[in-house]
Chains A and B, each alone.
Chain A
Amino acid sequence: MQRRTRRILWWTGGALGLFVAVSALVHIPAVQHVMGWTNPDGSGACPFGHGAPRVASDTPKAARPGPVARTRPALGFTLGATTRAQLASWATQHAITCTPRRGATLLECLDVPATLLAEHGAALGGTTAWFELDDRGVLTTVKTLRRATGADPVARAFAATELALTTRAGAPAIADGSAAPEVLASGAFRQATRDYRFADYRALLRATNLGDGYVLTESYTAL
């Protein structure tokens, strides 16, 4: 073997050895805990992201700094607890068509009847709902889009939802724009936003004039 080849082999072997040693080290529980590489349940996590399941917190606990929400309203679903099986039976029971997307971690449900998503007081039809599930098949996010031809029903739905969220979760961190029907109707892309940000919960509510109609969009996420 030539000297040059031997030197390359030596360095390659050394680098590989070092990588294996570091990889082993970062998977030792004591090291993981010192470095803060832990899963939500407190078990050690791989810092490279392998084998770290994406899991919704089922109990309101401070995942981030700041106050937690009083409760985590999500249109009658329970973030961190409602399961894929429960969603499937809900869809079957009400004859709703839901299409799995992005593997099975996402369900898109079309034409959901207004009464089924009226838990916050917004009874608007023309609804699409999206449900996002974590690796265990537990609900992490609910999003909806509801459409109406006039500003009035969207303004009413916005006001009812704002009141429900403020009462049940707490005050919004950001409140932009008015959802009064005459304001919404004054031009395409007029918009009102209420953004609720807590350590364990985020809700985002918007009323928007899309030019060819009005939409209410909602997003509820367990953090």
Chain B
Amino acid sequence: MGPGASLKCASSGKNAFATYGADAFVAVNKAIFAEVTAELTANGQTNLGDSFSRVTDFATFEGRLAAFLVFAYGGPTSITYTDGKTYEGVQDMRAAHAGMNITSAQYDYFVANIIVPALTKSGVPMGDVSSCFAPLVVDASVKASMVGQ
């Protein structure tokens, strides 16, 4: 089971994947990429560009992030994404962010300006954002697995 599988949404009493299903996760994932693109283009890339300039294959990145989110929030261990390819959801975040030297402030900025808008713009009600999505992202050990690697 993914680390967020036990988080219950206020609206349903079930976890996020059981409440929203695969399509909603695809929508949130696409919204995350739209926010990243906006940050990298329209709004300066100051706080992200350092890491994202190394990405050579955005399509695979997108599929892997979707699979990770689905698994983390209570879904299956792998998914077939919109590109028809299968991606593994069980991933090591420490390894994925190794060498990036992401700072605590960068992480917080990323959550506030990419993750939160992506969730709310995808139509997830605020009560569920707070109850069954947010706790995993702000969990100290989850943050520690990506910061300073």
Contact = CB atoms under 8 A, between A and B. Distances in A.
A and B physically associate: yes
Contacts of A152: none
Contacts of A160: none
B75 to A, nearest CB: 20
The prevalent SS among residues of A at the interface is: strand
B44 A140 contact: yes
B111 to A, nearest CB: 6
Interface in A197-220: 202, 204, 206, 208, 210-212, 215, 217, 219
Given A188-B130, A188-B138, 12 more contacts: A130-B46, A132-B44, A145-B108, A187-B126, A189-B116, A189-B119, A202-B42, A206-B112, A210-B112, A210-B138, A217-B113, A221-B42
Interface stretch (A16-24, A45-53, A102-110): A102-110
B116 to A, nearest CB: 5
A141 interface: yes
Nearest to A107: B46
A145 B109 contact: yes
Given A211-B134, A217-B112, A102 B50 contact: yes
B129 A189 contact: yes
A219 B106 CA distance: 13
B112 A215 contact: yes
A176 to B, nearest CB: 8
A120 interface: no
Interface of A: 101-102, 106, 108, 110, 128, 130-132, 140-143, 145, 147, 186-191, 193, 202, 204, 206, 208, 210-212, 215, 217, 219, 221
B47 interface: yes
Given A145-B108, A208-B116, A217-B112, A190 B44 contact: no
B105 interface: yes
Contacts of A204: 43, 113
Interface string B45-62: 111011001000000000
A141 B46 contact: yes
Contacts of A101: 50
Given A128-B105, A210-B112, A215-B112, A187 B127 contact: yes
A221 B44 contact: yes
Interface of B: 42-47, 49-50, 53, 103, 105-106, 108-109, 111-113, 116-117, 119-120, 126-127, 129-131, 133-135, 137-138, 140
A190 B117 CA distance: 10
B119 to A, nearest CB: 7
A174 B139 CA distance: 30
Most B CB contacts (10 A, CB to CB) among A128, A130, A191 go to A130
B126 A143 contact: no
Nearest to A212: B138
Contacts of B140: 212
5 contacts: A108-B47, A189-B130, A206-B113, A208-B116, A219-B43
B44 A191 contact: no
A194 to B, nearest CB: 13
A221 B108 CA distance: 20
A131 B43 contact: no
